[in-house]
Chain A
Amino acid sequence: MAIIIQSCQNEDSITYKRYYVNGKGLYEKNCQNCHGSDGKGLGTLYPPLTDSTYLIANKKKLACIIRNGQSEQITINNVAYQGQMPGNNTLADIDIAQIIVYISNSFGNKQGHYDQTEVAQDLAACK
């Protein structure tokens, strides 16, 4: 029994790591120009991804933001941002999940795993 739990945990952590590594590559290609390699954004042109409070509060909206983009005014850490984030029609659910794992576990965030299966649910609830 102990052995089985052990190996399950390992598998989870392997999945998590795979998501994280792939997510990093996808982030560099699709997001880093605007949000920066350190996730700090750029002035108030591009918002930071370093604020855990915002990311946790909007966890269920992240897939929608990444797929459809966003242009409404938002407030992060008392600073207002209003810009135009383009959508990403070419990213598959798995890509979106990997990107979410990467950003929500980098730049000072530590939210653990987010699975591919959650993307479809979250996308179905997009506004």
Chain B
Amino acid sequence: MKKLLYIALSILVIQSCTNQSDTKLPILGNREPVERTVDGKTIVDTIYQTISPFSYFNQDSILVTDKDFDGKIYVADFFFTSCNTICPIMHRNMLDVYKKFKDNPKVKLLSHSIDIKYDLPSRLKTYATKLGVEGNQWEFVHGSRDSIFNIAAKNYLVSAFEDSSDPQGLVHQGWFILVDTKKQLRGAYDGTKADQVKQLMEDMDKLLREEAANEK
């Protein structure tokens, strides 16, 4: 009886392993079909939404662009240093992601400040240091009003805007957006919920396996 149980258990384990590597994360966002001709036959490709080129200053006042994310998967979010509502929760959770993937050269984190006026690089540096973040695996970036709010709305599909009726004048959602090496959106997680952030970390492992398989 015991033996049978072990066999059943090991089948379950094998099963769940194969399942894990088989299912790919979905590709999110807008898509459009594009026709092309190969050997006289018409093939329909799907073009997925990607993150547009960007350039911002990070916490070390160094210019950071989309090129710095080439060949890496990354998690993006929107926050501001004086935000006293959801941001502490988001970044307490993001800190778990940071610790788990620390020094993994294939992983980066990208936090955009939406407080264009006050969150200059020096302030972002103080914030990062107090949070316990060193180096540039986790980039805290400052950009122009248009570039930050546009990329939030159009590329990451996160709502962020200035609102004079809000006590802090800025409103934003707490999404963590997972982006793959093709700069496609692969997941959106509520950064204020511990269980969703746990899912994000599992999905990052999954995406890293997919990217490694693609490289071969």
> In the complex, which residues of chain A have a beta carbon less than 8 angstroms from the beta carbon of B84?
33-34, 84, 86
B89 interfacial by beta-carbon distance below 8 Å? yes
Q: Which residues in window 77-97 of B have CB below 8 A to A?
A: 82, 84-86, 88-89, 91-92, 95
Determine the interface band of chain A, counting residues with CB < 8 A from chain B: 10 to 19
Report whether A45 and B88 are in contact in the complex, using a CB–CB cutoff of 8 Å.
yes
Q: Indicate whether A45 sits within 8 Å of B131 (C-beta atoms), given known contacts A34-B84, A84-B82, A86-B84.
A: yes
- In the bound complex, CA of A86 to CA of B84 (Å): 8
- In the bound complex, CA of A44 to CA of B128 (Å): 10
**Closest chain A residue to B83, Cβ basis:** A33
Report whether A33 and B82 are in contact in the complex, using a CB–CB cutoff of 8 Å.
no
Interface size counted on chain B using CB atoms at 8 A: 13
Q: By DSSP majority rule, is chain B's interface helix, strand, loop, or mixed?
A: helix
> In the complex, which residues of chain B have a beta carbon less than 8 angstroms from the beta carbon of A16?
none
A42 interfacial by beta-carbon distance below 8 Å? yes
> In the complex, which residues of chain A have a beta carbon less than 8 angstroms from the beta carbon of B86?
33
- Distance in Å from the Cβ of A68 to the closest Cβ of chain B? 15
Interface string of B109-147 (1 = CB under 8 A from A): 000000000000000000100111000000000000000
- Distance in Å from the Cβ of A34 to the closest Cβ of chain B? 5
A107 interfacial by beta-carbon distance below 8 Å? no
Interface residues in chain A, defined as those with a beta carbon under 8 Å from any beta carbon in chain B: 33-34, 36, 42-46, 84, 86
Of all A-B residue pairs in the complex, the 10 with the closest CB atoms, nearest first, are A43-B132, A43-B131, A45-B130, A44-B130, A34-B88, A33-B88, A33-B89, A43-B130, A42-B92, A86-B84
